[in-house]
Amino acid sequence: MTVLQSSSSTTNKVLGHPLNAWYVAAWDHEVTRKPMARKIADRPLALYRTEDGKAVALADACWHRLAPLSMGKTVGKDGIQCPYHGIVYNSAGRCASMPAQESINPSATVPSFPVVERHRFVWVWLGDPTQADPGLVPDMHQMDSQDWAGDGETIFAPCNYQLVLDNLMDLTHEEFVHASSIGQEELSESEFVVTHDDRTVTVSRWMLNIDAPPFWLKNMRDKFPGFEGKVDRWQIIRFEAPSTIRIDVGVAKAGTGAPDGDRSQGVNGYVMNTISPETAKSCHYFWAFMRNYCLDSQLITTQLRNGVHGVFGEDEAMLKAQQEAIDANPDYEFYSLNIDAGGMWVRRLIERMLQAEGRLAAAL
Amino acid sequence: MAATNNEVWQSATVVAVTDVAAGIRRIELEPSAPKHAEPGSHIDLTVTINGEQEKRSYSVVESLDGGNTLVISVFKAPVSRGGSVFMHTLKPGDTLRITQPLQNFPLRVGAERYVLLAGGIGITAIANMAAVLRNVKADYTVVYAGRSRAAMAYLTDLQDLHGDRLQIHVDDEGSSLDVSALIGGIDPGTELYMCGPIRLMDAVRRGWTERELALPDLRYETFGNSGWYDPEEFVVRIPRLGIEATVGQGRSMLEALEDADVDMMFDCRKGECGLCEVRILNLDGAVDHRDVFYSERQQHAQEKMCCCVSRAVSSATGSRADSPGRPAVVTIDVS
C-alpha cells in the first residue's frame, strides 16, 4: 500500500482513490452470464451474473496460476470456471471443484468483493468488506425514478479521476470548451455559492435573464414549442464522496420564479456523473442525462444522449491533454483560483478519506 | 478477503504473556512492520528446537490497533515436536522472527448465516472471526467444544461478547458436542468455519458430505499437525535409492527424507497440495493420513501418502495397545 507524501491540497495535482467506498463497476446491462473483465481502483475484476441474476465481482485471477477468470465461463447456479485448468469457484470466490483431484484444497479461494446493484449500476466495494454498508451507495435516484427519463454512456478517460471531478465542480470551463452548445460568457461572470459537509460539496450558480445557449434553447422548444425570449438558468452541482457528482441544470422562462422554486415554466435535467478510478492515470466515467419533461419521448432521450456525448467528447479531449501535460511537466505545480472552491473542497474530503485509511500522511 | 501467502518477515517483541487456560498461554507481540490481521489469518514464526530454527504457524487471536499488537495463544502440546514448548519459554522483552499476517482461512462477509466451530485450541482461529461477525451484525453461532472448562481459553470473554450466540460443550460435564446433531441442524446457505482436532474436523466433513451440503460452504484450514493417532517413530525405505531413514516423533517424513538427501518435491507442507505425494510399495503398520488432499476413498486405498504431514504407525489399528512393539516400516518410491 502506497502512503503518499504529505502535501497541501494545492500541490497534489492528482489524488489516490479511497478504497472504503462504492464505485460503479459497470452499467447493469453490461453484466451478464458471460463473464467480463474490468479494472476498478487498480483491481482487475471478473464480473458476471449468477443464474438468479445476482451480479458478482471476483478478483480476475485464478488462485492456481492467476489466469483471468473473465476469460472463463459461468457454470452451474453461481459458479465460474477458470479457462486454463477448469477450476470452478462459486460466487463467494470459494473453490467448488478441482477437476484433477477428488478433493478440494481448502485454501483455494479468490477474493470476492461486495456488490450492490442500484440506480442502473453495479457498484463494488474494494476496501474492508466489514465496512461495506449499502447505505453508503451515492444517491443517483433520478436514474431509475418514474419522474425522470434519460440514458447515458461510459467514457474511458485517460486521466486521473480527480481531474474529472475538478472539471465537473467548476463549470466556467463551459464557456471555453463547450462554446457551441452550453457555453456562454455569463457562466464566468455570475456569482456562485459553495457549501459542504462531511460527505458532500455543493456549488450553486444562477444566471438570470440571459439568452439560452443552443442546447437549452432546443430543450425549451421541446417542451414549449416556438419558445422565444430570455431565460433564468441554473447549475447546482452536488458532489458525494468519493466520486459521484449530480448536476441539477435547467432554464426557465425569465422571471417566472425558478430561483424561488417554481420550475414549471422551464426544463430541468440532471447530469449524473460517477467516476471510477481505473489506474492512477485512467478512469471509467459513467454519465447520464435525465430529464423531467416529455418523459415518453425516446427521440428526445436519444437526442439528449447524443448531444451530451458530443459535449463530453470535448471534455475528454481536454482531460487527456491535461493529464499528458501533467506527466510531461512533473516539476510544475498547480495553482488555484477562486473558481476552484468546489473542487478544492472535494479534494479536502477525499484527502480525509485517504488519511482515515492510512493511505495519505496527515497534513503537517 | 482472500488468501495471502506472501511471506514478509520482520522482528517482533514479546510484550506480555499470560496463562489463559490449563496449558494455554496468551502471547502479545509487537511487530516491527505492523499490518492488520484479518479474521482467519495466522503468522508464521521461527522457533528454536535443540538449537535448530524451525517454522511454526499460529492463528492471530486478536489484531489490536491496526496490527500494532498481534495476539496469539499457544497450547503446550503433550506430544510436542518442540515448538509449543519453546513458545512457552518466551518472556516479555524477548524478540523473535515472525511474518506479517498470512491468510488461508478468509472469512467472507455477506453469508446468510454462520456457524463457527472451535474444538479446544482451535478457538484461536475462530475468536477473531466471531468478533467481526458480531460487529457486522451477522447471523452467527459460535460452537465451542473442550475437554473441561479449565482447558478452554477465553471462555469468559466469549460469553461476555457473544451471550446466547455462544454454545458451549464440555466433555467432563457430560455435554460433549454431538456432531451429527450439529450438522443435522444446518440450513443450506449457512457457512461453517471450523478449527480443531482432526477427528472433529473429519466427523464434520463426513456429516457435511452425507447431508449433501455445498462443499464450498464448509471452511477450514489445516496446519497438518493433528492426526488420528499419536506420532510414533517409524522407518521409511526407498529400495530404488537404497535409502533407509528413521522418522523421529518430532520430525515429518518429508524432513527425514530431505535430511537423507532425497530430492523431494513439495509446496504447502501442510497436506493440501499433494505435491509431496509418495507411492507406498509395502507397509508394516498403518498410515495416519493427516492431509486433506486425498479423498476418503484414496486414504483407505493406502497406495499413496502426503509425506509432509502424514505418518506411519506401528499397529494396524493405530492403537498403542495393539502395537507389536517395533516401529512401523513404510517402503515407498518417490518421483
Rounded to the nearest angstrom, the minimum Cα separation between B110 and chain A is: 8
Q: CB distance A92–B274 less than 8 Å?
A: no
A90, A95, A129: residue with CB nearest B1: A129
DSSP-assigned states of every residue in A195-248: EE-SSEEEEEEEEEEEEPPHHHHHHHHHHSTT--SEEEEEEEEEEETTTEEEEE
Which helix (H) or strand (E) segment holds residue A292: the answer is none
Strands (E) located in A262-361 = 266-279, 282-291
Tens of pLDDT, residue by residue over B86-102, are 999 999 999 999 999 99
Q: What is the pLDDT of residue B54?
A: 87
pLDDT at B166: 98
Question: Cα(B305)–Cα(A32) distance, rounded to whole angstroms?
Answer: 43
Minimum Cα–Cα distance from A91: chain B residue = B216
Question: Contact A94/B132, CB-based, under 8 Å?
Answer: no
Q: Residue A38 in contact with residue A360, Cβ under 8 Å?
A: no
Q: From the CA of B176, how many Å to the nearest CA of chain A?
A: 27
Give the list of residues 6+ apart from residue A57 with CB closer than 8 angstroms, or none: A25, A45, A46, A47, A112, A113, A115, A122, A124
Question: What does residue B29 show for φ and ψ, rounded to 5 degrees?
Answer: -120, 140
**Listed residue (A331, A287, A62, A60) closest to A157, CA to CA:** A287
In chain B, what residues touch A132 (CB-CB under 8 Å)? 109
The predicted pLDDT at position B212 comes to 94
Give the one of B2, B215, B217 whose C-beta lies nearest to A59's C-beta. Answer: B2
**Position B321 confidence tier, pLDDT thresholds 50, 70, 90:** low
Q: Which three cell numbers stand for residue A103?
A: 478433493
Half-sphere exposure of A233 (CA within 13 A, CB side): 23
Kindly report the nearest CA distance between residue A97 and chain B, in angstroms: 9
Evaluate if residue B78 carries a pLDDT over 80. Answer: no
In a mutational test of the A interface, the residue from B42, B108, B209, B276 whose CB has the highest number of chain A CBs within 10 Å is: B108
Distance from CA of A126 to the nearest CA of B (A): 10
- pLDDT mean over B171-177: 96
Give the pTM: 0.90
Select from A95, A130, A358 the Cβ nearest to the Cβ of B216. A95
Please check whether residue A166 is in contact with residue A177, taking contact to mean a CB–CB distance below 8 angstroms.
no
* Distance separating alpha carbons of residues B311 and B332, to the nearest angstrom: 13
B215 interaction partners in chain A (CB closer than 8 Å): 96, 104
Q: What is the pLDDT of residue A13?
A: 84
Q: Among A355-359, B157-161, B204-208, name the one with the lowest average pLDDT.
A: A355-359
Nearest C-alpha of chain B: how many angstroms from A5? 19
Of A12, A290, A319, A311, nearest to A156 by C-alpha is A319
Residue of chain B with shortest Cα separation from A102: B295
Instruction: State whether residue A115 is helix, strand or coil.
Output: strand
The full DSSP string for B236-289 is: EEEGGGTEEEEE-TTS-HHHHHHHTT-----SSSSSSS-TTEEEEEEEESEEE-
Q: Mapping DSSP to helix (H, G, I), strand (E, B) and coil, where does residue B143 land?
A: strand
Residue B322 corresponds to which cell in the numbers above?
A: 495393539
Q: Which of B193, B208, B143, B195 is nearest to B170 (CA)?
A: B143
Comparing A7-11, B245-249, B279-283, which segment has the lowest mean pLDDT?
A: A7-11
CB contact under 8 Å between B132 and A358, yes or no, is no
**CA-closest candidate to residue B105, choices B207, B4, B225, B227:** B4
DSSP per position, B83-135: HHHHHTT--TT-EEEEESPEESSPPPTT-SEEEEEEEGGGHHHHHHHHHHHHH
Q: Which of A93, A96, A358 sits opposite B2 (nearest CB)?
A: A93
What percent of chain B lies above the pLDDT cut of 70?
Answer: 96
Query: A109 and B3 in contact by Cβ < 8 A?
Result: yes
Task: Please state the rounded mean pLDDT for residues B198-202.
Answer: 90
**Cα-based angle B317, B318, B324 (whole degrees, multiple of 5):** 85
Distance (Å, whole) CA B135 – CA B130:
9
Given a cut of 60, whether residue B2 has pLDDT beyond it is: no
Q: What is the pLDDT of residue A229?
A: 95
* pLDDT exceeds 80 at position B68: yes
Q: How far apart are CA A194 and CA A1, in angstroms?
A: 34
Residue A63 to residue A87: CA distance in whole angstroms: 9
d(CA B184, CA B170): 20
The whole-number pLDDT of residue B273 equals 92
| Confidence at residue A211, expressed as pLDDT on a 0 to 100 scale | 95
Tell me the pLDDT band of B324, cut-offs 50, 70 and 90.
confident
Q: What pLDDT sits at residue A67? A: 98
How far is B299 from B202, CA to CA, in rounded Å?
A: 12
Q: Do A63 and B3 touch (CB under 8 A)?
A: yes
Confidence of residue B3 (pLDDT cuts 50, 70, 90): low
- Determine which of A281-295, B15-29, B144-158, B310-324 has the lowest per-residue pLDDT on average: B310-324
Torsion over CA of A7, A9, A15 and A19, rounded to 10 degrees? 90
| pLDDT (0 to 100) of residue B33 | 95
Apex A29 CA angle, A149 and A200, nearest 5: 60
CA distances from A313 to A307, A309, A319, A352 (A): 10, 6, 10, 32
CA B139 to CA B122: how far, in whole Å?
Answer: 21
Residue in B with minimal Cα distance to A95: B216
CB pair distance less than 8 Å for A103 and B292: yes
By Cβ distance, the residue of B66, B272, B298 closest to A106 is B272
Over residues B174-184, the mean pLDDT reads: 96
Q: Output the CA torsion sign for A288, A293, A296, A299.
A: negative
| C-alpha of A312 from chain center | 13
Angstroms from A111 CA to nearest CA on chain B: 5
- Which pLDDT tens digits describe chain A residue by residue (364 residues)? 444 444 455 457 888 999 999 999 999 999 999 999 999 999 999 999 999 999 999 999 999 999 999 999 999 999 999 999 999 999 999 999 999 899 999 889 999 999 999 999 999 999 999 999 999 999 999 999 999 999 999 999 999 999 999 999 988 888 788 877 888 888 778 889 999 999 999 999 999 999 999 999 999 999 999 999 999 999 999 999 999 999 999 999 999 999 999 999 999 999 999 999 999 999 999 999 999 999 999 999 999 999 999 989 999 999 999 999 999 999 998 988 888 899 999 999 999 999 998 887 544 3
B274 near A CB under 8 A? yes
